[in-house]
Amino acid sequence: MSREKASADPVQDSQSSEQEMPDNSNAEAQAAAEPVDEDTQNAADSESPENTDDDIDALKAQLDEANQKAEQHWDAVLRTRAEMDNLRKRQSRELENAHKYALDKIAIELLPVRDTLEMGVAAAAEEADLTKIAEGTELTLKMLTQALEKFHIAEVDPVGQKFDPDLHQAISMQEGTDQPANTVLSVMQKGYTLNDRLLRPAMVIIAK
C-alpha cells in the first residue's frame, strides 16, 4: 500500500528534491559582489608583465643618467689634473729662469760701467794727461755707485763710529790715540749691505 502511494506522486517527490539542493548561482553572485582587497589587487597588478617592463625601463634610464654624470665628473677630473700639471711645469720653468737670470737687471746696470772703464783705459794709453784720467775714473766710480744704489746695495764706511761686530771686522788695534776705545780709526776695506743685510763686513782698525 505504501509502495503504491510513493510511486503515485512523482511530481511531489521532484519538487521536494529541488528544494533540498543548494542554490549555487546565488553563492556565485554574492562572491562577485563582495569588494576585492586593495593590497591584494595592487600585488596582483605589480606582478603583471607590463609593470615589470616599466620598472626595468626606469632603472635603465637612471643608470644611463648616472653613467653620463660619471663621465662628466671624470672629464672634469682629467681637465683639472692637466691644468695642475701645466701649472706645475710653468712654475718650474719660471723658477729655473729666476735662478738663471736673477742678475740680469744688475748686469744691465753694470755694463755701462765696464764700457766707461774700457774707454778710460784706451784714453790713458793714447795720452798721459792724469787729470783727464782721474776725471774719467771718478765718473766711472759715480756710475757704479748709482748702479749699486738702484739695487739697495749700500756701503759701510764707519770711520769715527763705535766698533760694531755685526757690521765691522777689526784687523788690528792702535794705541796712543785721542779717540775712545773701540772707535773705528780707519777703514781698510769698505763693507756693503743688501736691503740692510750684511754682504761683506768692513775691515777696520780700532782704537785700543
Written as tens digits, the pLDDT of the chain (208 aa) is 444 444 444 444 444 444 444 444 444 444 444 554 555 555 445 455 556 878 888 888 899 899 999 999 999 999 999 999 999 999 999 998 888 888 888 889 899 999 988 888 887 777 667 788 888 889 999 999 999 999 999 999 999 999 999 999 999 999 888 889 999 999 999 999 999 999 999 999 999 8
Backbone φ, ψ for residue 113 (5° rounding): -65, -45
* Residue 110 burial (C-beta neighbours within 10 Å; 0-12, 13-18, 19+): middle
Starting at the earlier edge strand, list the strands of the sheet with 168-174.
168-174, 202-207, 184-189
Residues 6+ apart with CB under 8 A from 190: 155, 156, 157, 202
Q: How far, in Å, are 21, 109, 128, 181 from residue 123 at the CA level?
A: 151, 23, 8, 47
Q: How far, in Å, are 18, 97, 100 from residue 104 at the CA level?
A: 127, 11, 9
CA 187 to chain centre: 52
Spatial CA neighbour of 116 closest among 146, 136, 142? 136
* Residue 152 backbone zone (phi > 0: left; psi -120 to 50: alpha; other: beta): left
Q: What is the pLDDT of residue 7?
A: 43
The amino acid at residue 202 is A
Q: What is the pLDDT of residue 22?
A: 46
Q: What pTM was computed for the model?
A: 0.55
Q: What is the pLDDT of residue 201?
A: 95
Domain ranges of the chain: 154-208
Q: What is the pLDDT of residue 85?
A: 93
Instruction: Give the three cell numbers for residue 52.
Output: 615589470
Please tell us whether the domain made up of 154-208 is placed in CATH 2.40.50.140: no
Q: What is the pLDDT of residue 128?
A: 66
Spatial CA neighbour of 193 closest among 164, 172, 162? 164
- Cα angle 27, 29, 31 (rounded to 5 degrees) comes to 70
Residue 149 and residue 106: Cα distance in Å, rounded? 10
Strand, helix or coil at 129? coil
Tell me the pLDDT tens digit for each residue of 154-187: 999 999 999 999 999 999 999 888 889 999 999 9
Backbone φ, ψ for residue 160 (5° rounding): 85, -5
